[in-house]
């Protein structure tokens, strides 16, 4: 089951045809935690909403050399 979760991201564990738990890969769990951190950041969420609504445009990335 763990190998399948690693391959697919997650596996549902069922009992009597009803999902009772999930086995989640480390990669998927890290992505979930990163998403939760972004969602908890009011400034980041405001920027995302502004971008999605068209109020702001992305700027090209110019690294400092």
For the chain, the structural domain boundaries read 2-52
pLDDT at 52 (0 to 100): 93
What pLDDT, in 10s, does the model give residues 6-62? 999 999 999 999 999 999 999 999 999 999 999 999 999 999 999 999 998 888 888
Degrees to nearest 5, angle at CA 18 with 13 and 29? 35
């Amino acid at each position: 089951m763990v190998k399948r979760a690693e391959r697919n991201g997650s596996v549902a564990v069922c009992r009597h045809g009803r999902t009772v738990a999930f086995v989640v890969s480390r990669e998927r769990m890290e992505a979930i935690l990163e998403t939760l951190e972004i969602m908890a950041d009011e400034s980041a969420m405001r920027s995302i909403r502004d971008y999605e609504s068209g109020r702001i445009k992305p700027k090209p990335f110019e690294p400092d050399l």
